Amino acid sequence: MKFLGIIPARYASTRFPAKPLALLGGKTVIERVYSQVVGQVDDAYVATDDDRIRQAVEAFGGKVVMTSPNHKSGTDRCREAADSVGGHYDVVINIQGDEPFIQPSQLQAIKACFNQPDTQIATLVKPFTPADGWEALHNPNSPKVVVNQRMEALYFSRSVIPYCRGKEQEQWLSNHTYYKHIGLYAYTLPTLQAITRLPQSSLELAESLEQLRWLENGYTIRVGVTQVETIGIDTPEDLQRAELFLHQLQSERL
């Protein structure tokens, strides 16, 4: 199968304007994301609505495609970018533009989901560990996923699911495997074209989780597992943490 990597990148952000162009270890965030992706897919493009990002990507030799500023989600931006790029790709991988530490193993894990020919959509999860603690599990900004025995998503929620009856909250992680959602998606091209035509659903609006729209409309989301923890950048404070993490990685390599 041929895989097309699309990295949506917006300049405007309420919590961190110009985030893709912020410097991390002397390189822009978007360059670090792109360099992690290239070589793991058949082709990769940054999809943006801002000329400053386009210029930055072209400056480091990356491929970029301009998209509408009116998209409400990265999935919609991926659809337009895939249409613009063209070519004979089987699967589009949506890589968040604020994940500079995304690992090749994670991209390989999501690609492996398509070894099963009936896969429509794939995403990744990471098991919580008892060491993560209740606070991490309870964090509504870290969606949880319940899966079936075929490793297909049953539901995504900002709440802690499932409820572990008869146990103290501090014991939940020791009595059940909870899965943290990693926001990496892949779709067959026909599926991507179809889901971007769907109206918003009631569960999606309730939880503010786009993937619930797909489940409500009968699509199957296959789940791959990663043990890798990465640092996404949503705020300037996250960028500071990422700098420390990058410095630690570089020190370990010396």
pLDDT of 254 strictly over 80? no
Domain ranges of the chain: 3-126+146-152+178-253
Beta strands in the chain (DSSP E): 3-9, 23-24, 27-28, 43-48, 64-66, 91-94, 121-127, 144-147, 153-157, 179-188, 221-225
pLDDT of 252 strictly over 90? no
pTM: 0.94
The model's pLDDT over 2-61, given as tens digits with 9 standing for 90+, comes to 999 999 999 988 889 999 999 999 999 999 999 999 999 999 999 999 999 999 999 999
Query: Tokens representing 93?
Result: 């991988």
The model's pLDDT over 73-126, given as tens digits with 9 standing for 90+, comes to 889 999 999 999 998 999 999 999 999 999 999 999 999 999 999 999 999 999
pLDDT of 176 strictly over 90? yes
Residue 194's pLDDT is: 97
The model's pLDDT over 37-49, given as tens digits with 9 standing for 90+, comes to 999 999 999 999 9
Residue 13's pLDDT is: 81
For 3-126+146-152+178-253, the fitting CATH number among 3.20.20.150, 3.30.1860.10, 3.40.50.10490, 3.90.550.10 is: 3.90.550.10
Other C-beta atoms within 10 Å of 153: how many? 24
pLDDT bucket at 253, cuts 50 / 70 / 90: confident
d(CA 88, CA 243): 38
